[in-house]
Copies of this chain bind each other. A is one copy, B any other.
Amino acid sequence: MKIAILGTGHGGKAAAADMTLAGHTVNLFESPEFKENLAPIREKGGIQLSGVGRTGFAQLNAVTSNIVEALDGVELVVAVVPAFGHKPLARLCGPHLKEGQTIVLNPGSTLGSLEFLATLREMGVKTRISIGDLHTLTYATRGEGADVRIMLEVRKLWLAAFPATETAGVLGKFRQLYPIVEAGKNILDVGLNNGNPMAHPGPALLNAGRVEYSGGEFYHYKEGITPHVANIVQAIDEERMALCRALGYPAMPTTERMFLMGYAVTKSSYYEAYTTSPVFCGENPIKGPHSVMDRYYVEDTTYGCVTWSSLGKQIGVRTPTIDAVIHLISVLHGKDYFAQGERTLDRFGLGGLSVEQLNAYFETGRMEVRP
């Protein structure tokens, strides 16, 4: 299949190389403001992939900061960018999307597809495309320049389209790349299975002094998730599962999900799940956050915790631990993340909807207006 990978972070480069080696035709795109990331790949003529799964040198079809070239003739567009990149990326792509193209946000964070579509709508784009959110990134991966190493090909992925009536179609395309992907109920369900709002802001907050004092010489999972800090992760996870139950979605503990995905080798406790993970704490433990302004604090609060908290308020589920983390990170940064509300239901005009109305909206994309 001819695909475009948008984004040249670790995940984007890993996907571009892996899908090329899997036999697909891959255009790798980075937006003009970060186009220096493309230089080492162009210089080397491709990406050298190591680690688990397929390895070898991958010669890409195109390496470009021209969105027209990137999207030309592709069937599937995979956006591998942080949540704060969804809106700018939609602005870049909007005028150049072709009827019938499929976009997968890898990952969707929380409600990424809604934001992407809202941005296209604001721009007046009428092209009919399909779009879906993946619950997490397809790989655990790190790299430098044109060299990328995959530590884990994620073994279980959930995807849903917006509206969910289009999930089967998007899934059919995406499974040609990743056969292990399964359907989530809708993008809200998928976003509630994103592990980062549990694993990042709480523990990062409880290590903020260390992160700042050490100048980023810090290993989040290895040093940061201690037995007592893991209690915070568990409390956030319990609030998240309460949201899932109230919405009628499966409420799978994060430890169980990490085990199914391949991140964890045990699900005996939150502490053990993270700290015995070969991906997080093995030979090459994950380093960072690099500062108290890192995405561990900003992205996963803005695009995860705040959304979950606002959802809880709307449907009557208490989220005191999530709220306390948001408040203290707001104080830490001197910003009000609650008030910013980048991905709250209100932001998408869904404030005040009941559980039934929300589920109907995410299923069909249509808002029932009741008299």
Interface residues of A (CB under 8 A from B): 203, 205-210, 212-213, 223-229, 231-232, 235, 292, 320-321, 323-325, 327-328, 331-334
Contact = CB atoms under 8 A, between A and B. Distances in A.
Contacts of A224: 209, 213
A276 B308 CA distance: 40
A212 B231 contact: no
Contacts of A332: 206, 228-229, 231-232
Contacts of A231: 331-334
A135 B228 CA distance: 32
B212 A228 contact: yes
A246 B356 CA distance: 45
A335 to B, nearest CB: 11
A212 B212 CA distance: 17
Task: Determine chain A's interface SS by DSSP, over half rule.
Answer: helix
A213 B228 contact: no
Contact of A208 (B226, B323, B324): B226
The 10 closest A-B pairs by CB, nearest first: A212-B226, A324-B324, A207-B209, A210-B210, A209-B224, A324-B327, A206-B208, A235-B331, A213-B223, A228-B292
Contacts of A225: 209
A32 to B, nearest CB: 32
Given A205-B206, A228-B332, 13 more contacts: A206-B206, A206-B209, A206-B328, A209-B226, A210-B210, A212-B226, A213-B226, A232-B332, A235-B331, A321-B328, A323-B324, A324-B328, A328-B328
Nearest to A227: B212
9 contacts: A206-B328, A210-B210, A213-B224, A226-B292, A231-B331, A232-B328, A321-B328, A321-B331, A325-B328
Nearest to A226: B212
B328 A228 contact: no
B235 A223 contact: no
Among A203, A228, A325, A332, the one with the most B-chain Cβ atoms within 10 Å of its Cβ is A228
Contacts of A235: 331
A332 B123 CA distance: 46
A331 B324 CA distance: 11
B228 A208 contact: yes
Contact of A210 (B209, B323, B327): B209
A223 B332 CA distance: 16
A232 to B, nearest CB: 5
